[in-house]
Structure 1
Amino acid sequence: MDLSAQFQSQDEALGNSVLTRAGLQPAGHVASCVADQEIQDNTSIIVTYLLEQVEEYRTLANLRRQGWENPAGDKFFRKQRRNADKADAHTSRHHFKLMQRIGNGVHKVTSGFAISRFAGTVLDMCAAPGGFLATALKLNPDATATGFSLPPSEGGYSILLNEDDRYCVKFLDVTMLAEDLGVTSIPSEHPDVRSFLPRQIEETRLFDLVLCDGQVLRTQNRAPYRETREPARLKNAQLALGLEHTRPGGTMIVLFHNVEAWDTVCFLHTFNKFSFIQLHKPCEGHTTRSSFYMVATKVQSQNHEAVLAIKKWKDLWKTATFGTDGEFAESLRKGEPTAKEILGEFGLELVRMGRGVWSTQADALARAPYIFSQPACTPES
């Protein structure tokens, strides 16, 4: 089918109605800033294409929408968020064991945790409580690891790995790694002027396996300017530094949300240019949620496209940290193809990679107690 025909009526479909129809947000949702609106508009184009082309996605969209419309869904996810926010010993231990099982599952399907080089190295950008790090070290007994994690005093988790001289974790906020991200001069009037950090990773240091699964924590105290941009600051900091320090031929494992979201599509499109990528949705902990893992192997981190990506992600972090909402929105679109151009170039590959993720989530939602009235499955933790 001609792409122009597919997009003929899309201008009328843009906006909340399309995203609500796909179950990505409730009716009446209002963008929090210019950049959020930019992402919504482009996501709407992607979603319209998928609703027209992909049966698995239409099924998922229908189930997601039922979840939004059922008050039981709100109650279920409020309980999940409340449990996740309690960083007590029991919660941390449960999360630690869950992440080990998820890591083993990711490896079983993708072989993503394997390091072929003797005495390989691992970089974990958001390590606590340490489940993925434990998986990596168990599967690669000669490897050593470096990790970063938000301090428990700032709302982060404790490290539950047994003490071992094979790994070292520094407790810090990776969104504040200013020098590593190319910023050495901080404006004196900036609200976080005293919080930015000097270099933490040697410029020439490279790692065989890089883990980027950090998520914004609601329990962290942050300056008000960070609230709407924190997901972008965290994701771009992790990916810029992770890719920059991946050994050519190495592997990156990255947590993303919503295959069809504009920012996720841009990341996948970019990684596809210099690595072999697989998408995997674990059988526990993620099935009803939008989350999934991208496993990028054979990463050519010194490829021209990779170098451009690192620069763009560092620039996005800088603008999200120091710029205005308008400047951040402009930086999101700068150098990126339009949504229609990406679909023309990458749409079929996106569908191929996303089918398994959408099918897994749809199967889980079809059994979820907050979709239909009868209880069917044990809620995920």
Structure 2
Amino acid sequence: MAQHSYPALAHIAENLTEEGLILGPSAILARRYVPELQELLAMRSKGWNEETLDDHFKWQRTVADNPDKEVASTWFHMMKKVMQEIDLASGCISPLKPIEFLDVGCSSGGLSSYVLRKNRHARGTGISLPAVQGGHIFLLEESFLPRYEFIEKDILAYDISPFRSDSTTVSSQRLPGRFLRRFSLVLLGESASRTYHHPVEPAPEDRKTVYGAYRDSLLITQLIIGLETVCPGGTIVMRLSHVECWPSAILLYLLDHLSDKLTVHKPRTMHASRGTCFVIAKGACGMQHAKARQQYLSGLRELLVQLRSGGRGGRGRMILPGDLDFVATAETILTEYLDRLIELGRGVWSTQVQGLDRLFRKKGIQ
């Protein structure tokens, strides 16, 4: 069997819950007929054994891990188009109303550039993993810099644990107080870097586990930052992968319950064949959501401690089944939330099928 990562079927296999349920495409299709998801599953199965796709995705990973200036510039312009798609799908960027926004994982700067260009009253703050630690080059246009604060920092270095003591924590380790409940728009799009420089280099046999812990810690940290920094009634835009699977389906549920209107959009501009999409939560974290927000934040902070310092030797661990039960169990998703999940996911699955079809035709896969 080819070992490329594109269908992420191994991820689905890890979705067992304590009740023995699997939160993934098969569980959904066992309960509902969803032609878009059925076709996507068939397309994934077709591609799973194709060696030509191994080479394609290995090449993509190599380019992504070692981008030259031309590639970085291409990504920058593509991400501007991605943000335009998100905006057209959700209407999340007002052209006239003053906006203060936070862009987490902002480099190369494409998302921020779109917001600043569309709204000349917008002012932004971007946080990006330093390039020396595996981050991307920051390419925001010079004309926008007076309206932008660029912070080079690994967001995992922020102390947002439930046990933090403000009197003893070094100020540079805390999420700045001026960020709390401040931003009308928060963009959460930082993806795990395969070239990330870990504080302590893991042993070869631990690298997979350490990377998984880093990836999942990054996901949960971004969500905590989003819930902490969005102003009441603001908008959170979050990048998720495979919304039909655990844990993304549960995080989708969380954002749906903390907002007045939720849109899920998969851009066609970039990575159309992959499972990534953007969740746009408008009217987020208002007064009516205050109790649930605090409960979710408490659970997320406690989970983050386990992800950062749990596991063998305290090196951290990946998210495990049951970790997000304080939000919703797999049974809750499959019984109470399933129709809503399908409603939100149809467009994502349809777009991915079209992207895979184009990729297969390009590679001569029948």
How high is the TM-score relative to the length of structure 2?
Answer: 0.84
CA contact (8 A) 1:123 1:147 kept: yes
Partners in 2 of 1:231 and 1:41 — Cα distance?
26
Amino acid at match of 2:219: K
Partners in 2 of 1:40 and 1:174 — Cα distance?
32
Deviations 1:144-183 (A, max 9, x none): 11111000111111211123211111101011211x4445
CA contact (8 A) 1:39 1:263 kept: no
CA contact (8 A) 1:282 1:292 kept: yes
Q: Secondary structure at the match of 1:365?
A: helix
Cα 1:357/1:145, change in 2 over 3 Å: same
> RMSD of the TM alignment (CA)?
3.0
Q: Secondary structure at the match of 1:87?
A: coil
Amino acid at match of 1:339: A
The yes-or-no answer on 1:173 pairing with 2:149 is no
2:107 is matched with which residue?
128
Q: By how many angstroms is 1:320 displaced?
A: 0.5
The yes-or-no answer on 1:262 pairing with 2:238 is no
Partners in 2 of 1:287 and 1:301 — Cα distance?
33
Partners in 2 of 1:271 and 1:287 — Cα distance?
23
The yes-or-no answer on 1:48 pairing with 2:29 is no
Q: Gaps spanning 5+ residues in structure 1: where?
A: 1-21, 186-192, 376-381
Deviations 1:249-283 (A, max 9, x none): 11111100001111101111111112111110111
Partners in 1 of 2:310 and 2:348 — Cα distance?
35
Partners in 2 of 1:233 and 1:327 — Cα distance?
8
CA contact (8 A) 2:233 2:285 kept: yes
Match of 2:360 among 369, 378, 381: 369
Aligned residue pair count: 339
Partners in 2 of 1:286 and 1:229 — Cα distance?
24
CA contact (8 A) 1:241 1:310 kept: no
1:280 is matched with which residue?
265
Of the structure 1 ranges 217-226 and 274-283, higher mean CA displacement relative to structure 2 is found in: 217-226
Of the structure 1 ranges 358-367 and 295-304, higher mean CA displacement relative to structure 2 is found in: 295-304
Partners in 2 of 1:349 and 1:359 — Cα distance?
16
Q: Percent identity?
A: 26
Q: Secondary structure at the match of 2:178?
A: coil
Q: Secondary structure at the match of 2:24?
A: helix
Of the structure 1 ranges 299-308 and 52-61, higher mean CA displacement relative to structure 2 is found in: 299-308
How high is the TM-score relative to the length of structure 1?
Answer: 0.80
2:49 is matched with which residue?
69
CA contact (8 A) 2:25 2:244 kept: yes
Q: By how many angstroms is 1:43 displaced?
A: 7.6
CA contact (8 A) 2:15 2:246 kept: no
Q: By how many angstroms is 1:205 displaced?
A: 4.7
Match of 1:348 among 320, 339, 353: 339
CA contact (8 A) 2:23 2:244 kept: no
Of the structure 1 ranges 362-371 and 239-248, higher mean CA displacement relative to structure 2 is found in: 362-371
Amino acid at match of 2:37: Y
